[in-house]
Amino acid sequence: MSDKKAKYQEVAYYPGCALEGSGSAYDTSTRALGKALGLKIKEVENWNCCGAMEVKNIDPKIQTYLSSRVMSITANKMNMDTVMVPCNGCYHNLKKAEYDLANDDKTAEVVDRLSKKAGHDTYQPGQVETIHALDWIKETIGEEGLRERVKNSLVGIKIANYYGCMYTRPRHIFPEKDAGPGSESTFKPHFMDDLLEAAGAENVEFPLKTACCGGAHTLSDCDTSTLLVTNILQAAEAAGAEVIATECPTCHSGLEMHQIRAEKTLGIKTNVKIIYFTQLLGMALGLKPKAVGLHENISDSFDFVKNKGLA
Amino acid sequence: MKSLANIGQRLNQLVAQPAQPSDAAELLALGETALEHWVRAKGKEPTSDLREGYRLLALHRQGADKDPSFNACRETCRELVYHYNLLTMEPEHPESAQRARMMPLVARHLFLFISGKLESRELGDFCCASKPLREKVDESVPAQ
């Protein structure tokens, strides 16, 4: 068993705020998928917001502190060395906090002061490894392991894999990426493609894998978000996809909501389904659609998955 | 220089009409022009340099200077160049028709990203930031 495979069998789980709200289907499906694969997770105790976008805009160091607290609890209270994060925003922020704490003395000083004030141990860089849900499945089960476990193949389903812009950017906070064979690519990420292909899906050539979905504009400039999402949906359909597989709750809910809004405000109807990769893998392993939270999605994919033999 | 509105209209035409590999050069140029608008809006003269052989990539780099959020369109720029290469170097490839269909959508995404950023360019250091906007609002509201 490889080092990572052994290390990731049991990980701390940081769902983050979105997975308690609009991204609840991602939480449901991540937990269900892990259980079906025999992997163990322990939710980070008394976790807090990672600082997301809002806190970062007020003071980036407070965002770094908030993310560091999650890692501090993982390391110092739970005695765990790996935290798994499904949300791209949380994943990005924890990775950025790790980088900033290791490379910026001023940030480390502020975080130390705030940690002492809050009454917990200061997080020290290197105590915890932050991984994405994609890393977790890829490293522990991998393509071979998935192929062996598939009960309902995704064969005949054409998928555009959409990673969003936070999963790979900025490159310097992801030193494990672009590290040669087997590692993730920041230009053309492929972990989701690899896993879904192993489950039988046919991945289409999709050039907007890491393009901006306008998620951050949703409230301040909704029309721009609708235009960006509509272009992504149309590109996925032009690429031949029936499904867009997602791995970020912000992107996912943005795609779903603006798909509806585009039809109403622009008169542009697209039919491509929007489904989390964890939902697709879970159904491929034989889990029922409800068990992976398909009913929690805004868009309705039930008829589609039924017609594909997944329900 | 083509206006942003004209770039958008032309891209919508190119997305809607039957795709031609020969459109690749125009699409690359439209991407460059959109980037020029961004660079000028930041008060700089658009570079004529090349990066990895392409002005588009040099313009993106110039546009992202001191503005890391602009890197959210870096891969879209690279995809545009990639499609340009595929279509111009192998126009007879069996996949050319599909590649030609995708390239206008990639170019349009770059345009939408840039035009959206230009509209909200007062929004700060990150595409989701609202700091300068909030500061303006704070300035206009008397302190309690």
Which of B14, B38, B74, B75 should we substitute to test contact with A (largest number of A Cβ atoms within 10 Å)? B75
Give the span between the Cα atoms of A289 and A273, in whole angstroms: 14
| A266 in contact with chain B, both atoms CB, cutoff 8 A | no
Check residue A54 and give its pLDDT: 75
Instruction: Answer whether residue B141 shows pLDDT above 70.
Output: no
In sequence order, what are the beta bridge partners of A83? A12, A130
Q: Using the beta-carbon criterion (under 8 Å), do A169 and B71 form an inter-chain contact? A: yes
How many Å lie between the alpha carbon of B128 and the closest alpha carbon of chain A? 4
Return the structure tokens found at B46.
């658009």
Q: What is the pLDDT along chain A (311 residues), one digit of tens a residue?
A: 679 999 999 999 999 999 999 999 999 999 999 999 999 999 999 999 999 877 877 888 999 999 999 999 999 999 999 999 999 999 999 999 999 999 999 999 999 999 999 999 999 999 999 999 999 999 999 999 999 999 999 999 999 999 999 999 899 999 999 999 999 999 899 999 999 999 999 999 999 999 999 887 776 678 889 999 999 999 999 999 999 999 999 999 999 999 999 999 999 999 999 999 999 999 999 999 999 999 999 999 999 999 999 98
Instruction: Answer whether residue B33 shows pLDDT above 50.
Output: yes
List of residues 6+ apart from B115 with CB closer than 8 A: A224, B4, B8, B34
The residues in B 25-64 lying below 8 A from A, measured between CB atoms, are: none
- DSSP state at residue B54: B
Instruction: Answer whether residue B131 shows pLDDT above 80.
Output: no
In sequence order, what are the beta bridge partners of A13? A43, A84
How many Å lie between the alpha carbon of B31 and the closest alpha carbon of chain A? 15
User: CA-nearest residue of chain B to A59?
Assistant: B131
Check residue B128 and give its pLDDT: 45
Check residue B129 and give its pLDDT: 42
| 3-class secondary-structure state, position A270 | coil
Give the span between the Cα atoms of B57 and B83, in whole angstroms: 14
Q: How many CB atoms lie within 10 A of CB A115?
A: 18
HEC assignment per residue over A143-202: HHHHHHHCCCCCCCCEEEEECCCCCCCCHHHCCCCCCCCCCCCCCCCCHHHHHHHHCCCE
Instruction: Answer whether residue B126 shows pLDDT above 70.
Output: no
Nearest to B129 among A57, A224, A238 (CB): A57
Give the span between the Cα atoms of A69 and A63, in whole angstroms: 10
How many Å lie between the alpha carbon of A271 and the closest alpha carbon of chain B? 17
Q: Using the beta-carbon criterion (under 8 Å), do A239 and B102 form an inter-chain contact? A: yes
Burial of residue A148 (CB within 10 Å: 0-12, 13-18, 19+) is exposed
Check residue B139 and give its pLDDT: 61
> CA angle, A94 as apex, A92 and A100 as ends, to 5°?
100
Give the span between the Cα atoms of A206 and A188, in whole angstroms: 10
How many Å lie between the alpha carbon of B11 and the closest alpha carbon of chain A? 12
Return the structure tokens found at B66.
């001191």
Complex ipTM > 0.90: yes
User: CA-nearest residue of chain B to A56?
Assistant: B129
Q: Could you tell me what percent of chain B has a pLDDT over 90?
A: 72
CA neighbours closer than 13 Å in the CB half-sphere of residue A21:
7
Task: Name the phi and psi angles at B98, rounded to 5.
Answer: -70, -40
In sequence order, what are the beta bridge partners of A41? A11
Check residue B46 and give its pLDDT: 97
Give the gyration radius of chain A's Cα atoms: 19
| Residue A248 vs residue B118, higher pLDDT | A248
Nearest to B109 among A58, A208, A238 (CB): A208
The residues in A 230-259 lying below 8 A from B, measured between CB atoms, are: 231-232, 234-235, 238-239
User: CA-nearest residue of chain A to B12?
Assistant: A231
- DSSP state at residue B142: P
Locate tokens 């560091």: which residue?
A: A68
| B10 in contact with chain A, both atoms CB, cutoff 8 A | no
How many Å lie between the alpha carbon of A46 and the closest alpha carbon of chain B? 27
